[in-house]
Amino acid sequence: MNLHIRVAEKNDCPRLLELIAELALFEKAPEEVTVTLAEFEDAGFGEKPVWKAFVAEVDGSIVGFALYYVRYSTWKGCRMYLEDLIVTEAYRGKGVGMLLIKTLVKEASEKGFSGMLWQVLDWNEPAIGFYKKLNASFDPSWINVSLSKEQFSDFDFSDLG
């Protein structure tokens, strides 16, 4: 297998979105992917990029990627937040994910980040097993909280002036 890891480029975005759709289907939430190609490209390669990704290629085809952004912790400083680590099903268990993780850890070290963090669904046993092999720490005490764009409209901003 001729595996190569490189920094993602704008022209990779359609394939990355295909892999995101594959992940969403695996996570039983395909309807949750609402980002458009234009939004995705702008967020990664526009005037103010907010994410960076590394892609894994086998014989010129992208078979996986890892996308991260910088998260600031008032307790720890700048940290790498791994938004997605995706390896297409046919290439899982072949070392692709490990090479992507090593690439991320090297990047985090070189940039002086204080650590790297991410989330995993509690039922995703293959991913949990993989992360345990990394000797990653698991913290079950935090609960995910979010507001959607649609929920923003529930707020009355009149008191803000």
- Cite the active site residues: 131
Cα distance between residue 81 and residue 108, in whole Å: 10
Residue with tokens 């989330």: 119
Helices 37-45 + 13-26 axis angle, to 10: 120
- Rounded alpha-carbon distances, angstroms, from residue 87 to 62, 63, 74, 91, 123: 9, 6, 32, 6, 18
User: Which residues touch 105 (CB under 8 Å, ≥6 apart)?
Assistant: 116
Nearest residue to 71 via CA among 59, 80, 61:
80
Please name every residue paired with 57 in a beta bridge, in sequence order, or none if there are none.
Answer: 4, 62
